[in-house]
Amino acid sequence: MARLVVAIGNPGSRYAWTRHNIGFLLVDQLVVEFQASSFKDTPKCFSLSAKLDLPSGPVIFIKPKTYVNLSGKAVRSAKDYYGVSLDQILVLADDVNRKFGDVRLRESAGSGGHNGVKSITHALGSNGYWQLRLGIGKPSVVSQELSDFVLSPFSEMEKVQMSTMFAEATRLFSSWCGVI
């Protein structure tokens, strides 16, 4: 049975190293680490997609081109296109409610205020999919708007700390898809 891994993020180099794009950064690492195919444009899914063939079935990785807040359109299209069941979907998303570096895997979780996750739940008509939430923390400056914070780049220290976070996220991904 096919599995679908959805990275939430914004397309384009302008957003590449911003907090909202941590899902894109993780999925890029997973594709390389597990030697999946390279990302290619998949217009029917409004995404870039890559594929990993496992004995238990293919894992399709997607990076929606719809921007974070409209991620649901791409996820619904990919779910239908690849014939994936709801419980075989894993969404990789940033989480301001978790301190930087914390990683959490849950099924049927809420949005935690994340507009991309809200969009996916709305498009699928259910939250019965898996989420791998990547903690990015909250703004250290009280006056900074949350929208500005999630679209701001990582600090150099955070970039260094990402390797530990991604190691744990990779372990959880491996467990979820049956690699380990």
Per-residue model confidence as pLDDT tens digits over 59-77: 999 999 999 999 999 999 9
DSSP 95-108: ETTS-TT-EEEEES
Q: Evaluate if residue 98 carries a pLDDT over 90.
A: yes
Dig out the tokens for 176 from the structure.
């979820």
Domain span holding position 172: 3-177
pLDDT given at position 87: 97
1-40 confidence digits (pLDDT tens): 899 999 999 999 999 999 999 999 999 999 999 999 999 9
User: What are the binding residues for tRNA?
Assistant: 15, 67, 69, 115
Q: Evaluate if residue 94 carries a pLDDT over 80.
A: yes
At 67, the amino acid letter reads Y
Mean pLDDT (whole number) for 157-170:
96
Question: Which residues, at least 6 apart from 169, have a Cβ–Cβ distance to it below 8 Å?
Answer: 26, 92, 103, 132, 134
In percent, the amount of the chain with pLDDT more than 70 equals 99
Q: Evaluate if residue 141 carries a pLDDT over 90.
A: no
122 is catalytic: no
Domain of 142, CATH number, reads: 3.40.50.1470
Mean pLDDT (whole number) for 150-159:
94
What's the rounded Cα separation, in Å, for the pair 5 and 105?
A: 13
Average model confidence (pLDDT) across the chain: 95
Q: Report the domain count for the chain.
A: 1
pLDDT given at position 180: 63
Sheet of 40-42: strand order equals 40-42, 47-54, 57-64, 3-7, 89-95, 130-135, 103-107
Q: Which candidate, 116, 115, 153, 103, places its Cα nearest to that of 7? A: 116
Cβ atoms 9, 15 nearer than 8 A: yes
- Other beta carbons within 10 angstroms of residue 152's beta carbon come to 14
Q: Catalytic pick from 20, 63, 73, 79?
A: 20
